[in-house]
Amino acid sequence: MPAEQAREIVVGTLEYVTDLRFPGMLHGAVTRSAIPHGRIVAIDTTKAAAMPGVRAVLIGADVPCNRLGPADVDGPVLADQRVRQVGEAIALVAAVDEGTARRAAEAVVVTVEPLPVVADPRTALSPEVPKLHEGGNLAGRIGFASGDVEAALAAADVVVERVVGTGAQEHVAIEPPGGVALWEAGQVTIWCGSQNPGLHRRKVARALNVEIDDVRLVAGPVGGAFGARNDDPMPVFLAVLAKAAGAPVHMRMTREEVMAAGPKRHPFHTTVRVGFTEDGDLAASDMTALADTGPYVTSGPNVLKTSAEMSVGPYRMPVARFDGRVVYTNNANAGAFRGYGVPQVAFALETAIDEAAARLGMDPVELRMRNLLRGGDRHGLYGHAVTPGLRAAETLAAAAADEWWVSRREWQRAARGPWRRGTGIAMAVKGVGLGSGRGDAARARLICDINGHVRIWAGPNHTGQAIDVAYRQIAADVLGMDPARITVTVGDSQLVPESGATAASRSMYAGGSAVAAVCERYKAALAEAGGPARLVELGRAEFEATFHLPDVADPGLIPPKRLGDHAPHLVYGCSAQVVRLEVHELTGEIRVAGVVCAVDCGRAINPGAVIGQAEGGVAQGLGFALMEEHRLDGGRPLTTSLENYLIPTARDVPEIRTLLVEGDEPTGPMGAKGMSEVVIVPTGPAVAAAVADAVGVRPARLPITPERLLEGLR
Amino acid sequence: MKVNGVPVTPPDPDARLLDYLRDDLGLIGAKEGCGMGECGSCTVLMDGVPVCSCLVLVCQAEDADVTTVEGLRRTALQEAFVTGQAVQCGFCIAGMVVSASALLAEHPDPTDEQIRAGLEGNLCRCTGYGAIVRAVREAAR
Amino acid sequence: MSPHPRTAAEVDRLDPARALLAGGTDLLVRRRAGHQGGPLADVSRLRDAPAPVRRLSDGSIWLSALAPLSVIDRELGGKLPGLRAAIACFASGQIRNRATLGGNLANASPAADGVPPLVVAGAVLRLRGPAGRREIPVTEFATGPGRTRLAPGEWIENIDVPPQPAHAGFRKIAGRRALAISIVSLAWTWDRGPGGALTGVRLAAGAVAPVVVRCPGAEAALEGRAPTPDVVAAAVAALGHDISPISDLRASAGYRRAALAGALTEALTPALTEAPARRNT
């Protein structure tokens, strides 16, 4: 089923949040730091404020509570003591038009005394390096083992060690952040893209010292998200500026601002050692990861938690150790990004398994297959029992049965000239929801009218994935109704009960389950009352339901009181991918010829949308693997626009075959579970495997640029 | 200048065509994703060929026939984008539809390679382009 | 408000301080970045602009400096396959519908894709301005990144391309397959003599020196010889002395050397050079 707003979109009439215009509306702009690290000596706004057309100029001291989160390390709304990143916001300006606002923002004079820059995460914890926060440069650490890893590795027949790195990836949602805020009678409505309207409400209420109920966030329509709209300060900027200006304020970031100041995927330095018996059974894994969160904590420690859980992949690992640290630097702030810490560690683990397959003389599919987790097995690191809902083996088998994998040798032999051919395979799992012990829940509200028309308000909201359509399909299925007689609203914090983020692969599973639950309630009441008109007459036409994501039944090794820290998942989405590509042996260029994406999403409720998510995830994964890296030099961004930060075009993305693995997730709505994140994960290691198959060199660093590849060949 | 067949007289010849279309005429279909011709979200037809309206000044289009996504007749192409689920967040789609309409005018029965070449100037971050390519192919039938 | 001259003579009479705006695909981007903030004059709509492509009876071709690349490409038909190959991988369709050869030349980017094919073709630029008309070989036009021999108020009207050898091509190496600035580029023309010997060899490389450069050392290593593996190796070795690449965001100097060597090797591999000249990786 198509996206709800597709018909308006194809004729250009849908108003996105940055398209909105109000009478008397002002336009905002941001004064940003030009240097990576410094002490703010003075901020002089007099010249900016005196410019004709300027209606408000705000600095940190003007924000009632100048914090984006509960702690200092969450960062200020507007930097007032120190700047810690190029692009950090220092002042906000509202003016009669956008040009005036931008000129006034430039006219704010910020005197900064430069401080030494922390640019290398690998040395950020050294005592001689300046501390970016009072507590030092360690933003978080997760380190534990499920047994004696050293002994297990010493006893293993084959131990593969890989030292790898992955870059900072920019989301490049095509709509840059922006929107409008409007205050009326002490209450603010903010139209601004958000993957987490509840969180943004709390941020706005905290910053302005107002009640949460006085903040309404309308989180769409919005042009893409991918994680970037989780931590975005834009709703706060809009609200504080509109309040100060006493008029509605519109603001949008330029692409250049997004490149400098928007969040990025955490760059990782990762070392893994994986041990095998000579028969190819996994013996142990030991992973050390270092993540760079930039100047503020944002998602850093949570990302590491996901990294830890997925550091053993979908494999039976007798013992495992993970030691991850996330550090502060003056590089770009990192935040949530599709995959959330998993692509980085999967690249290390999957390429290590390929290396082991080569050393053991085994087929990479066979080696994986004999080690895959099956239902009832215990997770290698956390020790919790995995449910039968995981179909890792079926997913791998589906990918490996594709003709592009089966015929890879014939295809390779048909290579011509300098273009050498190779095929690779890789797989991954990614947990659905926030994990056990986190109290993760979603809610839905339903009202019927006398004619039986049903209105549903539910979250998580739509940022491109058409989750609202899936809610409608689930409701229609539970109620046995024509979907056309059901209306679904998402993304409006005034109307939708708090349901958490469009994140953690949880929207379908959590939001869909809440919708199913509220529909079941309505259905039962309907049967009892004898019809919708009667329910309305009785004043019983409104229903609410909450769905609590189930925890793992058998938590295994982890003491229950620590579950809150470790949060193992009951439900995993799974993907296995085959990449076939050509490598130019003289120039190092890579042309991807095709990708097979097998995905286990339980039952696909809206198969067209699932295929769209799979293809989009693979394309983003190809970008991560081959060309995307936000680069800085001494904390100063080098990739400053879409001219020098390249993402795949239609010419770079090949045909992608999506294979939906049949079977229901027993705990999911209509048998469904999340899949939109896991599909980005196997792409990088599958590309690396294909490169190794083509030219015999296994890349250790993503992206695999032509230059890096050619260096490897020489 | 004519915009979608209607004669117009822009007040500021030095404005970007994109801003004139959006701010003065209220034609919000063309979007700004980069402001430098790298994303194609602002694509419109100028005398029948796709251009990035962020890189055209109004004075340069003085004698031109400008067609925005709003001015394309409702076509099989747009229907194919909807039913083929080629629209996710949709922010790139107006530009995609405009580029695809020019492509189909030049190549009524395009190969997949021609379709991808015809859309090379339009970035999409949601779809991976697959559903979009299929929609254009479907519309060509 | 910017003036918009409608005839070439009006352009000649403009204040020489004005930057001339043709397709705008570079100028307006630089303006956005805060450069080139001065006054503009739009020259994209001259009534007496030269025809996009004129074929002369002596076999030479005149290209309009003001016509969009896509129009030049279409009107060239089977002519100048090297230039057409370069246009095919130039930015994107939208950009090719606006960008001009004149703009590409006048920007004087060492990575300009339109320039190497004109350099190997021995093109001559026909300039005009307040002081009248003059001609300058394209090889002498650019003097450094962003710098040319254009006098104040002077502009490029035509590009005169003499009759060409039988073989020509263009190869670009970039970070992706569309909408990308070249890491390196290579244009070539030659004839094939008896026994496969190459004659009239001309090579030009982009993004490996402050301006697009001819590669005389590599040309000499190839001239009169069939491209056997030894000859190719000698040409590649000589090529290294023809260029002076730098390291920047797109690539290191070392990679530029290696990639250009790869492009030349590929161009000289007969099975590949006999394939259609249009190539866009």
| pLDDT for the residue numbered C270 | 66
Rounded to the nearest 5°, which phi and psi values hold at C193?
A: -95, -170
- Give the burial string for A588-603 (b: 16+ CB within 10 Å, else e): bbbbbbbbbbbbbbbb
Residue C12 in domain: no
For residues A19 and A50, state if they share a domain. Answer: yes
> Do residues A635 and A442 touch, judged by C-beta distance below 8 A?
no
Q: Would C20 be classed as within a structural domain?
A: no
A29 found inside a domain: yes
Contact at CB, B125 and A173, closer than 8 angstroms: yes
Choose from C25, C182, C249, C260 for mutation: most chain A CBs within 10 A: C249
Contact assignment for C176 to A627 by CB distance below 8 Å:
yes
A187 and A234 part of one domain: yes
Task: State whether C176 and C243 are in the same domain.
Answer: yes
- Is A170 domain-assigned? no
Residues A357 and A400 in one domain: yes
Residues C157 and C175 in one domain: no
Final residue before a domain boundary, out of C126, C146, C161: C161
**Dist CA A572 CA A600 (whole Å):** 9
Q: Which domain covers residue A226, as residue numbers?
A: 14-115+177-252
Strand A419-431's sheet: what is its strand order? A419-431, A572-584, A590-600, A656-660
Compute the distance between CA of residue A182 and CA of residue A195 in angstroms, rounded to an integer: 20
| A211/A338 Cα distance (integer angstroms) | 32
Partner-chain contact B59 C42, CB within 8 Å: yes
Q: What does the alpha-carbon distance between residue A249 and residue A93 come to, in Å, rounded to a whole number? A: 10
pLDDT for A562: 66
Beta bridge partners of A544: A445
What does the alpha-carbon distance between residue C117 and residue C182 come to, in Å, rounded to a whole number? 14
- Chain C residues touching chain B at CB-CB below 8 Å: 1-2, 4, 21, 23-25, 28-29, 32, 40, 42, 44-45, 70, 91-95, 97-98, 177-179
Pair B61, B14: CB distance under 8 Å: no
In chain A, % of residues over pLDDT 70: 99
Nearest-angstrom CA–CA distance, A635 and A133: 17
Measured CA to CA, the distance from residue A45 to residue C161 in angstroms comes to 58
Q: Which of C32, C92, C176 to substitute to test the interface with B, most B CBs within 10 Å? A: C92
Same domain, A230 and A360: no
Q: How many domains does chain C have?
A: 2
Q: Total structural domains in chain A? A: 3
Judged by DSSP in three states, C26 sits in coil
pLDDT, residue C35, reads: 81
Q: State the pLDDT at residue C258.
A: 98
- Chains B, C: CB contacts within 8 A come to 81
Asked if A646 lies within 8 A of C29 by C-beta distance, the reply is no
> A interface mutation test: which of B14, B52, B88 has the most A CBs within 10 A?
B88
CA–CA distance, A289 with A600 (Å, rounded to integer)? 28
- Does the pLDDT of residue C276 top 70, yes or no? no
Residue A58 is inside which H or E element, if any? strand A54-59
CB of A591 less than 8 A from some CB of C: yes
Interchain pair A617, B128: CB under 8 A: yes
Looking at the structure, do residues A274 and A383 belong to the same domain, yes or no? Answer: yes
Q: Are strands C198-206 and C213-214 parallel, antiparallel or unpaired?
A: antiparallel
User: A with C: how many residue pairs have Cβ under 8 Å apart?
Assistant: 74
Q: What is the CATH number of the domain that holds A482?
A: 3.30.365.10
Residue C39 in domain: no
Residue with tokens 């936000």: A630
Residue C194's Cβ-side half-sphere holds a number of Cα atoms within 13 Å equal to 0
State how far the Cα of A367 lies from the Cα of A278, in Å rounded to an integer.
11
Are A343 and A384 found together in one domain?
yes
Structure tokens that stand for A625 in this block = 């693997």
pLDDT for residue A38 is more than 70: yes
How many Å apart are CA A452 and CA A471, to the nearest integer?
Answer: 17
- Claim to verify: residue A631 and residue A570 sit in the same structural domain: yes
Per-residue pLDDT band at A685 (split at 50, 70, 90): very high
Using the beta-carbon criterion (under 8 Å), do C29 and A587 form an inter-chain contact? no
Residue in chain B nearest C3 by alpha carbon: B59
Instruction: List the structure tokens of A363.
Output: 């087929």
Is the residue at A149 inside a domain? no
User: What letter would DSSP give residue C207?
Assistant: S
For residues A177-197, average pLDDT: 97
CB contact under 8 A, A615 and B131: yes
Q: Is residue A187 located within the same domain as residue A313? A: no
For residue range A95-130, list pLDDT tens digits in order.
999 999 999 999 999 999 999 999 999 999 999 999
CA atoms within 13 A on the CB side of C253: 8
Residues A242 and A341 in one domain: no
C157/C178 same-domain check: no
Q: Is A711 exposed, middle or buried (0-12, 13-18, 19+ CB in 10 A)?
A: middle
C41 in any annotated domain? no
Pairwise CA distance, residues A637 & A639, whole Å: 6
> Are C149 and C187 in the same domain?
no
Looking at beta carbons, which residues of chain A come within 8 Å of C178? 649-652
C-alpha span between A649 and C46 (Å, rounded): 34
Mean pLDDT along residues A501-513: 95
- Beta pairing partners, A95: A27, A54
Within a domain: A632: yes
Pairing of strands A268-276, A632-633: unpaired
Q: Is the pLDDT of residue C37 over 90?
A: no
Residues A32 and A110 in one domain: yes
Interface of B with A in 44-103 (CB under 8 A): 68-70, 72, 74, 78, 81-94, 97
Helix or strand holding residue A260 (H, E): helix A255-261
3-state helix, strand, coil in chain C (%, to 5): 30, 25, 45
Residue with tokens 């703009």: C103
Across chain B, mean pLDDT equals 97
Element (H, E) at A535: helix A532-537
Q: What's the mean per-residue pLDDT of chain A?
A: 96
Which chains contact B through at least 3 pairs of Cβ atoms less than 8 Å apart?
A, C
Tens digit of each residue's pLDDT (9 = 90 or more) over A248-292? 999 999 999 999 999 999 999 999 999 999 999 999 999 999 999
Which chain B residue's Cα is nearest to A676? B126
For residues A134-149, give the mean pLDDT. 93
Residue B138 φ then ψ, to 5°:
-65, -40
Helices (H), chain B: 17-19, 76-83, 93-106, 112-118, 130-140
Rounded to 5°, angle at Cα B33 from B29 and B34: 135
Locate A459 and state its tokens. 């979250």
Q: Are residues A697 and A623 in the same domain?
A: yes
Q: Summarize pLDDT for A553-586 with one digit per residue, the tens.
A: 877 766 655 655 668 899 999 999 999 999 999 9
Q: Given a contact as 3+ CB pairs under 8 Å, which chains touch A?
A: B, C
Of C127, C161, C195, the domain-final residue: C161
ipTM of this predicted structure:
0.98
Nearest-10 crossing angle of helices A607-626, A683-695: 50
Nearest to A263 by CA among A173, A180, A166, A164: A173
pLDDT at C274 over 50: no
Cis peptide before A388 (omega within 30 of 0): no
DSSP H helices in A364-458: 364-371, 392-400, 403-406, 408-413
Torsion from C-alpha of A565, A570, A571, A575, nearest 10 degrees: 70
Task: Please tell me the predicted confidence (pLDDT) of residue C273.
Answer: 43
Contact of A652 with chain C, judged by CB distance below 8 Å, is answered with yes
Ranges of residues in chain B whose predicted pLDDT is under 50: none
Token representation of residue B56: 């055209």
Provide the CATH number for the domain around residue A71. 3.90.1170.50
C178-195 tens-digit pLDDT: 999 999 999 999 999 988
Which domains does chain B show, CATH number per domain? 2-71 (3.10.20.30), 76-140 (1.10.150.120)
A557 in any annotated domain? no
By the 8 A CB rule, do A346 and A164 touch? no
Q: Give me A216's structure tokens.
A: 């309404």
Using pLDDT thresholds of 50, 70 and 90, give the confidence band for residue C278.
very low
Structural domain includes residue C23: no
Burial tier of A523 (Cβ tally within 10 Å: 0-12, 13-18, 19+): middle
Q: Are residues C198 and C110 in the same domain?
A: no
Q: Are A243 and A517 in contact (CB under 8 A)?
A: no
Looking at the fold, whether C128 and C179 belong to one and the same domain comes out as no
Do the domain assignments include residue A137? no
Q: List all residues 6 or more positions away from C221 whose beta carbon is below 8 Å from its beta carbon.
A: C231, C234, C235, C237, C238
d(CA A61, CA B84): 51
Averaged pLDDT for residues A54-80? 96
Helices (H) and strands (E) in chain C, counts: 11, 13
| Residue A76 DSSP code | -
Q: Is B120 close to C178, i.e. CB distance below 8 A? A: yes
Do A418 and A445 belong to one domain? Answer: no
CATH of the domain at C219: 3.30.390.50
Q: Do A461 and A222 contact (CB within 8 A), yes or no?
A: no
Kindly report which listed range (A342-346, A504-508, A651-655) carries the lowest average pLDDT score.
A504-508
Residue A370 and residue A298 in contact, taking contact as beta carbons nearer than 8 Å: no
Model pLDDT, residue A543: 98
C-chain CB neighbours of B121 within 8 Å are: 91-95, 178-179
Does A295 score more than 80 pLDDT? yes
Q: What is the DSSP letter of A265?
A: P
| Per-residue confidence band for A387, with pLDDT thresholds at 50, 70 and 90 | confident
In a domain, C2, yes or no: no
Backbone φ, ψ for residue C127 (5° rounding)? -100, 155
> Where is the domain boundary, C161, C186, C221?
C161
DSSP state of B20: I
pLDDT tens for residues B55-78?
A: 999 999 999 999 999 999 878 999
Q: Say whether the peptide bond before residue A703 is cis (omega within 30 degrees of 0).
A: yes
If we measure between CA atoms, which residue out of A553, A546, A507 comes closest to residue A668? Answer: A507
Closest chain B residue by Cα to residue A615: B128
**CA A528 to CA C198: how far, in whole Å?**
91
pLDDT over 50 at C279, yes or no: no
Distance between A136 CA and the closest CA of chain B, angstroms: 37
Contact A643 B78 (CB under 8 A): no
Q: Residue A459, SS3?
A: coil
Cβ of B138 under 8 Å from any chain A Cβ?
no
Nearest CB to B93; choose among A9, A172, A255? A9
**CATH number of the domain where residue C127 is located:** 3.30.465.10
Contacts of C32 in chain B (CB under 8 A): 35-36
Domain around C211: 167-273
Give the residue from A240, A246, A259 showing the smallest Cα distance to A192: A240
User: In one letter, which amino acid is A400?
Assistant: A
Cis ω before C210 (30° cut-off from 0): no
Asked whether the bond before A221 is cis by omega within 30 degrees of 0, the reply is yes
Question: Is C171 inside a domain boundary?
Answer: yes
**Which structure tokens are listed for A479?**
């109620």
Tell me, yes or no, whether A142 lies in a domain.
no
Sheet holding C198-206, edge to edge: C167-174, C182-192, C198-206, C213-214
pLDDT at C277 over 50: no
Residue A6 lies inside a defined structural domain of this protein? no
Q: Are residues C104 and C132 in the same domain?
A: yes
Q: What is the pLDDT of residue A488?
A: 97
